[in-house]
């Protein structure tokens, strides 16, 4: 019981830490987690929290479409028209700091689901523009340390609660 509760709290802590650090939605982060509840194996009891790269596949990276700027103010649009950069895609990966980045020659295709970039001078071939995935976001020092600290903090409390519950039932 204690491992399942600590695992759920670790999943929540990882979700919050990733979303505080990176500009990504809750659905994208939650869809990348698989929590296997504690069960007894031959030698040990274990609970597993697996984190995949993206929500639909086991790959390591996300497409840049998840971080593309969604809306532009009228004043910002006027500035971009004067500079001649209104067609450049802008994206923001980190929630705080980093600012908006620009990709030259990138475009949105695949019915608005993917950012592509041409690999040559011709129309084709093109390749998707990939960036950091959820599993790599979790492996950053800030996020992993925060989750590890939450596990160490809660494990003692939950084990005591589980033992007290079992004792009170007897």
Report d(CA 45, CA 51) in Å as an integer: 20
Query: Mapping DSSP to helix (H, G, I), strand (E, B) and coil, where does residue 3 land?
Result: helix
Give the C-alpha separation, 83 to 2, whole Å.
58
- Domain ranges (residues) in the chain: 2-58+134-169, 62-131
- Ordered per-residue pLDDT tens for the chain, 170 residues: 888 899 999 999 999 999 999 998 888 888 888 888 887 666 777 888 887 765 555 556 888 888 888 777 888 888 888 888 777 888 888 888 777 888 878 888 888 888 999 888 888 899 998 888 888 888 889 999 999 999 999 999 999 999 999 999 98
Q: Most distant CA pair in the chain: distance in Å?
A: 77
Q: Which one-letter DSSP state was computed for residue 137? A: H
Distance CA(133)–CA(73), nearest Å, equals 29
Question: Using only C-alpha atoms, what is the Rg of the chain?
Answer: 22
């Amino acid at each position: 019981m204690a491992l399942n509760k600590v695992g759920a709290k670790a999943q929540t802590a990882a979700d919050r830490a990733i979303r505080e650090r990176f500009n990504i939605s809750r659905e994208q982060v939650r869809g990348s987690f698989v929590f296997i509840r504690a069960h007894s194996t031959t030698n040990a009891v274990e609970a597993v929290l697996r984190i995949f790269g993206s929500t639909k596949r086991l790959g390591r990276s996300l497409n840049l479409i998840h971080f593309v700027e969604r809306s532009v103010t009228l004043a910002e649009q006027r500035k971009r028209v004067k500079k001649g950069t209104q067609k450049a895609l802008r994206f923001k990966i980190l929630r705080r700091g980093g600012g908006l980045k620009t990709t030259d020659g990138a475009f949105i295709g695949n019915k608005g689901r993917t950012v592509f970039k041409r690999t040559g001078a011709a129309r084709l071939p093109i390749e998707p523009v990939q960036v950091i995935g959820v599993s790599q976001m979790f492996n950053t020092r800030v996020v992993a340390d925060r989750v590890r600290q939450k596990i160490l903090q809660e494990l003692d409390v939950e084990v005591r609660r589980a033992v007290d519950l079992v004792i009170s039932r007897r």
